[in-house]
Amino acid sequence: MQRKRFNTMSCPIARGLDRVGEWWSMLILRDAFAGMTRFDQFEKSLGIAPAMLTRRLKALVENGLLTKQRYASHPPRDEYRLTARGEDFRPVLLALLAWGNAHFTPEGPQMQIIDAASGEVAEPVLVDARSGRKLQAPDFKLAHGPAATAAMRARLAGGGGLLGWPGVGA
């Protein structure tokens, strides 16, 4: 009996979660974005057991989110760096940051995205890059792509819901 994998599902969310959905993975990525590259930096920052960190880093490297590169050979030392695929994960962490700030910081926000020039606190929203409009129903909807399976088409008939239901101001 293995842990059930999501990578055989056709949904891109499931496919993605299969790579970063374990208990520590996203926090390791967060620290990688914060500039950490070395084993002991992650270890101290997270308070994670070393065996666990080894396993997670290995999985993230295998899934193409991090690279492991030797930066010193005399004492063999490696560093972990984000790949392009890892960099692309950034919006997920930013969305999580905004959600965490909104719901789980009763003391007030610990981290904020601010305008570098004015210092004003930013308010993150997802929009379409070209038109600049907010990604929500009824302007946008979730549709099946060209490679969608029959099950996926059936599931998406009606808008899929992730953008809100048409006519409902979610």
Cβ pair 160, 137 in contact under 8 A: no
Widest pairwise Cα distance in the chain: 65
Task: Name the residue nearer to a second copy (CB basis): 73 or 110.
Answer: 110
Cβ pair 59, 86 in contact under 8 A: no
Task: Name the residue nearer to a second copy (CB basis): 27 or 59.
Answer: 27
| 62 contributes a contact to DNA by CB under 7 A | no
What is the nearest approach in angstroms of DNA to the Cβ of residue 99? 20
Residues 6+ apart with CB under 8 A from 68: 57, 61, 78, 79, 80
Which of residues 38, 93, 154, 169 is near a second copy by CB under 8 A? 93
| 4 contributes a contact to DNA by CB under 7 A | yes
| 53 contributes a contact to a second copy by CB under 8 A | no
What is the nearest approach in angstroms of DNA to the Cβ of residue 64? 17
Which three-class secondary structure string do you get for 68-101? Answer: EEEEECCCCEEEEEECHHHHCCHHHHHHHHHHHH
| 23 contributes a contact to DNA by CB under 7 A | yes
Task: Name the residue nearer to DNA (CB basis): 61 or 113.
Answer: 61
Mapping DSSP to helix (H, G, I), strand (E, B) and coil, where does residue 153 land?
Answer: helix
Q: Where along the sequence are the contacts to DNA (CB under 7 A)?
A: 1-4, 22-24, 38-41, 47-52, 54-55, 57, 68, 74-79
